Amino acid sequence: MTLFKKESSLLQSLTLPCGTVLKNRIAKAAMTERLAGKNHYANAKLSHLYGKWSDTGAGLLITGNVMVDKRFKEASGNIVVEDESGLKAMQEMTKEGTRNGNHLWAQISHAGRQSTIFSTFKPIAPSAVQLKKMMLFAKPKAMTEAQIEDVIKRFVTTASICKKGGFTGVQIHGAHGYLISQFLSPKTNLRTDQYGGSIENRSRVLFEIIKKTRQAVGADFPIAVKLNSADFQRGGFNEEDALYVIEKLHELKIDLLEISGGTYENIVFLTKRSERESTRKREAYFMDFAEKIRRVTKIPLMVTGGFRTIDFCEQVLDNNELEMIGFARPFLADQSFPSSFVNRDSERISDAKFNFKIKQMADFAEAGFYDYQIHQLAKNKPLKPNYSPTIGILRFLKNELVKGWF
Ligand SMILES: Cc1cc2nc3c(=O)[nH]c(=O)nc-3n(C[C@H](O)[C@H](O)[C@H](O)COP(=O)(O)O)c2cc1C
């Protein structure tokens, strides 16, 4: 059965620098699934979920955070890959998740100071700078050089096992305030050794991971990076820093750069709008920054955040502003996305609205709401757009608590 019935620039294939071909320009961006059990392996629910997402026709699926160390997770239900013990379950998941000739990449990550108290009371980070949000994060310990070397090795090990487990590429998570992003930001990285200070030093961990991962997975295996355009924090990682990192990533021949922005302190990756008057009417986030990247490098580029109309998506591809478009929440707003979108049955995707007075509660309401939708899909149940965000908060906290502590 043909899913896509109209011609669209979203349906053109893309050849990456490593030679891999993506069948179209539609990417399902990372969304943490929180579906793994106590062993943190892939499982039947994850296999089912990724099988369903493969059936949508998207050319690229990127998993949610896959952690390199079970002590420092983003959420209690994350997949963790430290060794090959979960390989069989992973192979099952990747078989389902690639059943339509699409790619399935693992997003490899370490939460650092953004590891909640449900995972650890002793997080590690570049420096002992605590994340103060709803008392959910303990004060981290500054990492020793040996711990930094261990983390670099873990990223490489996880990437190699993911390749063996059938993932067709990896994405290194360098955005949203997780460990690599903590190294990149002068606000969270106060080190005075070779990993702190200048942007050259702050980006050392990321570059070491890329170089060593490339050696381990070979020249023809896609390696992508998700990077913030900026943290949107005073004294944090800024666009000038990001442009330096991007030029180097181009030299290191990564295959795809995904641009996002923000951290848990300012979740602009879910809310950002363009700041320039001339471009504010452009719906997607970070497009102003994509323009700046284009001026300095030709790195294959994907932006995620806020793409909601088919006309706008086609326009940015036709203008060669981007090579790929990342969508996250649209995959949870309409089960027939992206075919209904490309076929112009629904030319605009609408987001759920969360009107919580306390901003931080709104973050949790949103997390709880979307978490529930993902779990519905994984259980082969329909999406529920009228699900109560208040119940979402309670459900989310209960799940983290039960999976994390009991
Ligand atoms: C429920 C949910 C979970 C997310 N989990 C992750 C994640 O694990 N890793 C990541 O890089 N981004 C994550 N994000 C951010 C998305 O990848 C994306 O950057 C953001 O939702 C903006 O895109 P959108 O406007 O198309 O939703 C998540 C977003 C949502 C809504």
> pLDDT tens-digit profile of 147-205?
999 999 999 999 999 999 999 999 999 999 999 999 999 999 999 999 999 999 999 99
pLDDT for residue 352 is more than 60: yes
- Region 229-239 average pLDDT: 91
So where are the chain's domains? Answer: 20-351, 355-406
Best probe residue, ligand 1, of 107, 329, 374, 383 (max atoms within 8 Å of C-beta) = 329
pLDDT for residue 14 is more than 60: yes
Closest approach atom of ligand 1 to CA 65:
8
The string of DSSP letters for 112-135 reads GGG--TTT-SS-EESSS----STT
> pLDDT tens-digit profile of 276-322?
554 555 778 899 999 999 999 999 999 999 999 999 999 999 999 99
16 lines ligand 1 (CB under 6 A): no
Going by alpha carbons, the residue nearest to atom 14 of ligand 1 is 31
Selected residue with higher pLDDT from 394 and 268: 394
Residue 212 has a CB neighbour count (10 Å cut-off) of: 17
Length of the chain: 406
DSSP 309: B
Query: Distance between CA 47 and CA 38 in Å, rounded?
Result: 17
Closest approach atom of ligand 1 to CA 374:
1
pLDDT for residue 275 is more than 80: no
Structure-token pair, residue 383: 């999406």
Query: Distance between CA 203 and CA 183 in Å, rounded?
Result: 7
Mention the CATH class of domain 20-351: alpha beta
DSSP 175: -
Going by alpha carbons, the residue nearest to atom 5 of ligand 1 is 31
- Region 244-258 average pLDDT: 98
Best probe residue, ligand 1, of 26, 32, 283 (max atoms within 8 Å of C-beta) = 32
What pLDDT, on the 0 to 100 scale, is given for residue 272?
Answer: 58
pLDDT for residue 359 is more than 90: no
pLDDT for residue 75 is more than 80: yes
- Region 379-384 average pLDDT: 96
Query: Is this structure's pTM higher than 0.85?
Result: yes
Going by alpha carbons, the residue nearest to atom 1 of ligand 1 is 370
What pLDDT, on the 0 to 100 scale, is given for residue 120?
Answer: 96
What pLDDT, on the 0 to 100 scale, is given for residue 46?
Answer: 98
CA–centroid distance, residue 78 to ligand 1 (Å) = 14
SS3 168: coil
Best probe residue, ligand 1, of 74, 173, 270 (max atoms within 8 Å of C-beta) = 270
Closest approach atom of ligand 1 to CA 29:
17
**Preceding amide of 389 cis, omega within 30:** no
What pLDDT, on the 0 to 100 scale, is given for residue 273?
Answer: 52
pLDDT for residue 346 is more than 90: no
Average pLDDT over the chain, rounded to an integer: 94
pLDDT for residue 97 is more than 80: yes
332 lines ligand 1 (CB under 6 A): no
329 lines ligand 1 (CB under 6 A): yes
pLDDT for residue 238 is more than 90: yes
- Region 338-347 average pLDDT: 93
Strands (E), 49-198: 60-67, 79-80, 103-109, 124-125, 141-142, 169-174
Read off φ and ψ for residue 184, nearest 5 degrees: -70, -25
pLDDT bin (cut points 50, 70, 90) of residue 72 is very high
Q: What angle do CA 120, 121, 123 make, to 5 degrees?
A: 70
Query: Distance between CA 155 and CA 162 in Å, rounded?
Result: 10
Place of tokens 């990192």: 245
What pLDDT, on the 0 to 100 scale, is given for residue 365?
Answer: 86
370 lines ligand 1 (CB under 6 A): yes
- Region 10-14 average pLDDT: 98
First-to-last alpha carbon distance for the chain, in angstroms, is 46
Structure-token pair, residue 287: 């497009």
